[in-house]
Amino acid sequence: MPGHPRVGVLALQGDVREHLAMLARLGADASTVRRPEELARVDGLVLPGGESSAIDKLARAFGMQHPIRTAIADGLPMYGTCAGLILLADRITGGIEGQETFGGLDVVVARNAFGGQTESFETELDITVFDGDPVHAAFIRAPIVVSVGERARAIGSLPDGRVVAVEQDNLLGTAFHPEVSGEARFHERFLAKVRERR
Ligand code: GLN
């Protein structure tokens, strides 16, 4: 149906429900994706926050790694939050032994980049591609983008310059969780990419 893009949330582990609720609120036809057949039915995919090493292992166990990599190469719009950003990164640091990513996003991401007391925090961020109010961002054992390659671009940074939001063609990634703070603009931007591609 026009105006109701079919999108999926990768539902192997992580905060799947929050993304489904946000996408439904924005008028998308959102469903969980665990299997290749389900991936084949959606026009875009959200990779949720959670534990990237667990999602990686489960994706391989469910035969999803190859289909997701193919979908990324085909230009399927994807939005990764936190663990999802880690999974989209071409390279990571601080992964567990043998941890892999789907890749596609030309960045290096450091896992668990905030230690001790700042493991979880909230802050306001200016996002270069949004007009209006700053984004209220919740960081939970969050990663940081330590290097942005030629194909990707930084769209949001902490006051000290560390990059926490990136975009590259149909891929969008944030180190924080807009779905838990009710910030809808990233999901809207993802849905715009989905509509454009259809
Ligand atoms: N620390 C988690 C990881 O490395 C990410 C945390 C999150 O998604 N909130 O996968």
What is the C-alpha separation between 198 and 188, in angstroms, rounded?
Answer: 15
CA 1 / ligand 1 centre spacing (Å)? 34
Average pLDDT over residues 6-29: 97
Smallest CA separation from ligand 1 atom 5, residue? 83
CATH number of the domain residue 107 falls in: 3.40.50.880
- 157 assigned to some structural domain: yes
Q: Does 21 have pLDDT greater than 90? A: yes
pLDDT tens per residue, range 176-193: 999 998 899 999 999 999
More confident residue, 1 or 181: 181
E strands in the chain: 6-10, 29-33, 45-47, 78-81, 89-93, 105-110, 120-125, 135-140, 144-148, 153-157, 163-168, 171-174
Number of domains in the chain: 1
Mutate to test the pocket of ligand 1, among 15, 93, 140, 181 (most ligand atoms within 8 A of CB): 140
Q: Judge whether 100 counts as a catalytic residue.
A: no
Instruction: pLDDT band for 4, please (50, 70, 90 cuts).
Output: confident
- Domain hosting 118: range is 6-197
Distance CA(139)–CA(46), nearest Å, equals 18
Q: How far is the CA of 128 from the centre of ligand 1 (A)?
A: 24
Instruction: Answer yes or no: pTM beyond 0.95.
Output: yes
Instruction: Name the residue with the closest Cα to ligand 1, atom 8.
Output: 49
Res 173 pLDDT > 70: yes
Q: What is the pLDDT of residue 115?
A: 82
The reported pLDDT for the residue numbered 2 is 59
In the 8-state DSSP scheme, what is residue 47?
A: E
Q: Does the beta carbon of 48 sit less than 6 angstroms from any atom of ligand 1?
A: no
Residue nearest atom 2 in ligand 1 by C-alpha distance: 51
Work out the burial of residue 74: count CB atoms within 10 Å of its CB; fewer than 13 is exposed, 13-18 middle, 19 or more buried: exposed
Window from 111-115, 172-176, 184-188 with minimum mean pLDDT = 111-115
Q: Is the CB of 109 under 6 A from ligand 1?
A: no
- Residue 13: inside a domain: yes
Residue 177 belongs to some domain of the structure:
yes
Given the residues 18, 19, 167, 179, the one annotated as active site = 179
Q: Is 112 in the pocket of ligand 1 (CB under 6 A)?
A: yes
1 falls within a domain: no
Question: Is 23 part of any domain?
Answer: yes
The predicted model gives 74-97 an average pLDDT of 98
pLDDT given at position 41: 97
| Residue range 40-49: mean pLDDT, rounded | 98
In the predicted structure, residue 1 carries a pLDDT above the cut 60: no
Q: Can you say how many angstroms the Cα of residue 189 is from the centroid of all Cα atoms in its chain?
A: 12
